[in-house]
Amino acid sequence: MLNSLYRLYTQIYPPRASFDAVRIKGFRSSRFAFPATDLNLTLKEETPALLNKNAKVYMASRSRERAEAAIQDLKTITGREAIFLELDLANLDAVTRAAEEFKSKEHALHILFNSGGVMNPPLELLTHGEYLMQHGYDLQFGTNVLGHAHLTLCLISELEAGAKSSPDGKARVVNTSSIATYFNTAPWIRWGTLRDGPERRAMSTRALYCQSKFGNLAFSNELARRYADHGIISNAVNPGNLKTELGRYASPLRQWFSSVFVQYSPDMGALTQLMVGTSPKAADANGGWFIPWARQYYHEGETQNHEVEVKLWDWIAEQRKGH
């Protein structure tokens, strides 16, 4: 019990960060990709920090209008321009097209930040409305887990090329999970809920979100296991509780409470992702779990389960067929 309380406390109220974006070294011909649904977080800290270090950054988003506005703001801030990549993580064919567009422009990818996502949309909209994923998957698992996994695996050859051309011989994949993984429960993934149906509808949208955040970790861990020999390292992060649009579906009271008592500015959320993606200290970590602010933490049952990870990998492979 005390251990469970401590791991929540230390992530909700983390100590002062020892890492900041100023510590990032300059890059030569390095390519970065950001699948991001929350342009607020990407714009505030992550992308400017990389652009200022001469990185070539692809900002992947479903909304061209919002992304291009963000890119223009970034150009004003940094004098450098990110590149828009149209990406809808809720559509496997659209993910394939985005990957093919990237491949047509670049032969190597050095760091992939899997940072898009959706949280707690109303269950009835998930089931009946416009938010239902086009291929019939639960929106949260389909977007947060399957969409990112498909993109990553579409770009494996480019990541391998990135590893070969990196000074340390490694390409990095940073997978965004959440403290919500600790609220997921055994059997960790309820396979009958990944597509729409009675079993999924019996779960709360919050429980489905927690399940998807475990899924991010499970994919990250298995990717690390399978591609370490290819120079690809994969780690998962909890970026922290942040004041972003991700919580827009919460009640006004919950949004107010979170904002006042447990949430931080978006620029703080970028620290852990940037450290894992760029710091030499994280280069030897693979299959790791990082928490706010930029600290490596130990795995537990809620963040690691080899049997489920293998099963998820096989499930993802089956879903990708034909796309």
> What is d(CA 210, CA 220) in angstroms, rounded to the nearest whole number?
16
Contact 154, 92 (CB under 8 A): no
Using DSSP bridges, classify how beta strands 289-291 and 295-297 pair: parallel, antiparallel or unpaired. Answer: antiparallel
> What is d(CA 261, CA 264) in angstroms, rounded to the nearest whole number?
9
| Tokens of residue 105, six digits | 């422009």
Strand partners, 113: 174
Could you give the residue numbers annotated as active site? Answer: 177, 209, 213
Q: Is 92 exposed, middle or buried (0-12, 13-18, 19+ CB in 10 A)?
A: buried
Inter-axis angle of helices 205-227 and 306-320, nearest 10: 90
Contact 230, 280 (CB under 8 A): no
130, 133, 249: which is closest to 200 by C-alpha? 133
